[in-house]
Structure 1
Amino acid sequence: MASGFFALLDDISALVKVSAASLDDVPAQIAKTTGKVSGIVIDDTAVTPKYVVGLDPSRELSIIYRIAKKSLINKLFILSPAALVLGYFAPWAITPILMLGGAYLCFEGYEKVHGMFSKHPEVTAETEQLKTITPEELEQERVAGAVRTDIILSAEIMAIAYSQVTDQPLTNQIAVMLAVAVFITVAVYGFVGLIVKADDIGVHLAQDKFHPGTQKFGRGLVKFMPHFLNLLSYVGTAAMLWVGAEIIAHGIPFTAHLLHELEVSLAHLPIVAWLAKALSCALGGLLIGFVVEKLVHVAKKLFGKGKQEQAA
């Protein structure tokens, strides 16, 4: 009995050692996974500030907190478990789902680029409509819209995170997924909170009670933030196209091979290789987004026509 008990303890000890050794790799896996989703993180960070524009400044941090809380809940309790379950029962579905998400990112990126070069006469009508709702209702709409956008980007983040640990033990998969969910959410919405309150910080530092150098910095910060937000919007759009197209490219052997060959051919110039790959993916993302936009337009016309026929 005693020998059997000690043998069991030895087995448990060996299992713990193996698990500990496996978990030692988790920080490296988290770092690798975070790097893979950096493009989507940039886009998420760039998109969110627009949801507090025009609202009461005293409500900005509260609104961001509400969006961040919902984002974290979605990642931890819906998207991460869904990715793990899907990866266990239908691992073949991960790549197609990633590619669909990539197509959506390209579509959104194309819409933003198209919007930069198009006039929108309907803006006046939308503005008039917004005047008829209360600030509380507008805030609820903004939060709901932000959450809808975030859940799509978060789904891409968690799917990519899972795709990086499919060959790892289940404990590592869970640890990496949860760590990425928490880290990404805190990083994105912490930075967004800093961005939206930066002008308030600048106004505070520009007060006469501070040193002239501090006042000058505060005034410069206030003037700089609108330009920074515009730049962030452009960077987010570029990242959306780049990441979306790269996801799709890696799901197709031929295009994955082309990207690999491009990187290998410019391996002696790492920065040039990165720029060439990013530019190629961004241009490809524009093309994919254009095609998806046309398909969506045709689908809307057919769907609308079908509804009209049913109503008749």
Structure 2
Amino acid sequence: MKILVTGGLGFIGSHTVVELQEQGYEVVIVDDLSNASISVLEGIEGITGIRPEFVQLDLRDKQGVFSFFQTNQDIDGVIHFAASKAVGESMQRPLMYYENNIVPLLNLLKELEKKEKAHFIFSSSCTVYGQAEVMPITEEAPIQVALSPYGNTKQIGEEIITDVTRVSSIDAILLRYFNPIGAHKSALIGELPIGVPQNLIPFITQTAIGVRKELSVFGEDYNTPDGTCIRDYIHVVDLAKAHVAALDRLVKGENIEKVETFNVGTGKGSSVMEIINAFEKVSGVKLHYKIVDRREGDITEAYACTRKANQVLGWKAELSLEVALDSAWKWEQKVRKH
């Protein structure tokens, strides 16, 4: 089967391409290279022995998307990662986030609804829950008013997909994931943000290696045991495998509803300070950090109830926090050629 992976040269996308190819899927990647490097193709090929087909395309270009599907009529399914993804940046540049995260989704669904049958997996986020009142967060937790434009684009995306699947032959799975970290054990692909990292782990590894002067810890007055935010950190390879499990479910026609939703996390929360301490232990490097003001849009804590994904998808996170941090550090060292 031929699967389109949008944003397939990005962090989660590239790891998912590897898992798809290792499970025998044929992959075509579409990426506009706005936050990814073409060299990732070599990393994917180095791991799997297969160089996936690649098309550089901005999915906001309606005519470009139409032409792509005209040329690639044998696409059976889409895993849609292509999106802007930083909470903080979305507070500063809301219009960019609405354009980047909604327009491509509309263009893709317009083409997919023309097909007799199409499978669609959406890269959603635990941000749709806002600050959930009960931990761990289940799929039944109420969707809260979004605290950021980024979170809102994920909510709107889910609503659009739900509406479209009701009147088309598209089946969809929404994967709401928590905080992906780490890198492939080969250190051939990993997280490589362009510019200043918006996520904690690449900021930690860049600080450890000397690219950044110090790490900012946003707030120490949260209602948590050590005052810093708690998140559910999942190894990106485990997350990638969840996408393959979701796709397998749709391909085999095992889905019970037109749209199904799964949380993808480890079920365990770790605070920012716990992450810093665990990284120092794994790497042997002492981190320079300072406590600064809270960041707008951040919530106190979020970690997943993964029971549904475990039981229905037959998927479970297997790699530990220490393994994830170690792989992220090895990747950083390789990138900087240390």
Asked if Structure 1 and Structure 2 have the same fold, meaning a TM-score greater than 0.5 normalized by the shorter chain, the answer is: no
Higher Rg of the two aligned structures: 1
**Which structure has greater strand proportion?**
2
**Which structure has greater helix proportion?**
1
**TM-score of the two chains, using structure 1 as the length reference:** 0.24
**TM-score of the two chains, using structure 2 as the length reference:** 0.22
Considering Cα pairs closer than 8 Å and 6+ residues apart, tell me whether 1 or 2 has the greater RCO: 1
